[in-house]
Amino acid sequence: MTTAGKIVNNEIHLQSIHHQQTQPHQLHPPEHSDGEPETKKQEMPLDTSTYSLALLRLDGRRWNELRRIHAQINTQAAADGSSYLEMGNTKVLCTVTGPAEGRQAGQRGAKDNEAKVEVEIGFAGFSGLERRKRKSDKRTLEMQHTLSTAYSSLLLTHLYPHSTITLTLHILSQDGSMLAACINASTLALIDAGIPMSDYLVACTAASSATTSDSDNSDPLLDLNNLEEQELPFLTVGTLGRSDKVSVLICESRVRMERMESMLAVGIDGCKRMREILDGVVKEYGKRFS
């Protein structure tokens, strides 16, 4: 038995183990169809031969389905660039200010010959299940650091010496895949701001579900919600546009190293689809100006 995802010669092969003939619609996320994925739990196929991959998740998705993704670009009139992104119930609003003269230009370790990317993430008090103020704890700081280093190398910062590009992210609703949603929203907002970058940076989460204790046979899952994130080992992977190259990879849970491959493969595949979706949003917006 093989794992579902394989990386062979740097090519991602996603193969459905049991059904070799995957339905074309199954490989496409439900946002191409209309409406949300069915929330009602469907009759679980009890035939064990197809169970491990036809398994429906808590919200009725299949293992390789993304949640409904809704994205808008240029939502804020006053910002240089802005975007709004929903991944299921995770909702993020991003605004970009700059490139502008920074408050502390040339300080704080910024190099003089390139722009500095500053990131500010604010969790709205109403974003979680319970109202809580979460400001500048270590986790948020780490997320800010991740975004700032990822975009510093992606944006063509050398075009804007002595300046600062500020990303402000408002998290309006949390339901898993926070970092991935922040990355995707930031990419859209930076495109809206017209800051040159080499390609889309898109991100996705992938998990490894342990249906059996046998570590060789675990199903990878794509795009986790909050419940799944708490239960399963998962990673966030961010890739650069159409290539398979990994720019961001954060894994915070304990997992066997053998499972990494399939998780990575599924995540990268998800990123590719994410890129298509975001690209569609940008092109749709661009049509207004043609």
Partner 1 sequence: MAPSQAAQVNLSPAELSFLRSSLSQTPPIRLDNTKGPRDFRSMVAEYDVLPSTNGSARIALDDGTEALVGVKAEVEKSLWRPNVEGRRALSIAAGDVDMTDDDKLESHDNKGKGQNSWIEISVEIPGYRDDDALPVFLASMLTESLLSSGELKDRLYINNRFHWKLGIDILLLSPPLSYPLALLSMTTHLALLTAHLPALKSEKDEDPLFDDDWDAAVPLYPKSDSSGGANVDKPPVIVLAMAVGPNIIFDPCKEELAVADAVLAIACAPSNASSTGPRIVSIRTIDPPSHLTPPAVPNAMNSATGGVAPASTAEALTQRELLSASGVWTPPRGGMKRDLIKRVSSMVVDKGGVAEEVIAALQAIEVG
Partner 2 sequence: MPREVEISIIEREFIQNALQEGIRRDGREFDAFRPLELNFGDEYGVADVQLGKTRVIVRISVDVVAPPPERKFDGVFQIVTEFSPMASPAFEVGRPTDAEVILSRVLEKAIRRSNALDTESLCIIAGLKCFALRADVHIVDHDGGLIDASCIAVMAALQHFRRPDVIVEGEKATVLSTRERDPIPLSILHQPLSVTFSYYEEGNLFLVDADLAEEQVRQGEIIITMNRHGEICQVNKYGGAPVEPLDLLNLNNVALQKVKDISKFIQQKLDEDAKKRDAGGLMAELSAENAR
CA atoms within 13 A on the CB side of 27: 13
Q: Does 265 bind partner 1 (CB under 8 A)?
A: no
Q: Does 103 bind partner 1 (CB under 8 A)?
A: yes
Tokens of residue 52, six digits: 């491990």
Euclidean distance between CA atoms 263 and 233, whole angstroms:
10
Only one residue has tokens 């809580």, namely 132
Tell me which of partner 1, partner 2, none is bound by residue 126, counting a contact when its beta carbon lies within the kind-specific cut-off of 5 to 8 angstroms.
Answer: partner 1
For partner 1, which residue of 1, 8, 46, 78 counts as binding (CB under 8 A)? Answer: 78
For partner 1, which residue of 5, 98, 220, 267 counts as binding (CB under 8 A)? Answer: 98
Return the residues of window 4-23 that contact partner 1 according to CB under 8 A. Answer: none
Tell me how far, at minimum, the Cβ of 267 lies from partner 2, in Å: 9
CA atoms within 13 A on the CB side of 53: 20
Q: 88 or 233: whose CB is closer to partner 2?
A: 233
Q: Does 216 bind partner 2 (CB under 8 A)?
A: no
For residue 43, give the DSSP letter. P
Tell me how far, at minimum, the Cβ of 41 lies from partner 1, in Å: 19
Q: Does 121 bind partner 2 (CB under 8 A)?
A: no
DSSP output for 165-215: EEEEEEEEE--S-HHHHHHHHHHHHHHHTT--BSS-EEEEEEEEE-SSS-T
Residue 71: enclosing H or E segment and its boundaries? strand 69-73
Q: Does 265 bind partner 2 (CB under 8 A)?
A: yes
Rounded (5°) CA angle 194-107-118: 35
Return the residues of window 90-119 that contact partner 2 according to CB under 8 A. Answer: 107-109, 111
The contact pattern for partner 1, residues 47-76, with x = CB under 8 A and - = no contact, is -----------------------------x
Return the residues of window 171-200 that contact partner 1 according to CB under 8 A. Answer: 172-173
CA atoms within 13 A on the CB side of 58: 14
Q: Does 37 bind partner 1 (CB under 8 A)?
A: no
Burial of 2 from C-beta contacts in 10 A (0-12 / 13-18 / 19+): exposed
CA 6 to chain centre: 21
Tokens of residue 258, six digits: 């053998």
Q: Does 257 bind partner 2 (CB under 8 A)?
A: yes
Task: List residues binding partner 1 (CB under 8 A).
Answer: 76-79, 89, 91, 93, 95, 97-98, 100-103, 118, 120, 122, 124-127, 129-131, 133, 135, 164, 166, 168, 170, 172-173
Binding site for partner 2 (CB under 8 A): 7, 9-10, 12, 107-109, 111, 138-139, 141-142, 145-154, 235, 239-240, 243-258, 260-261, 264-265, 268
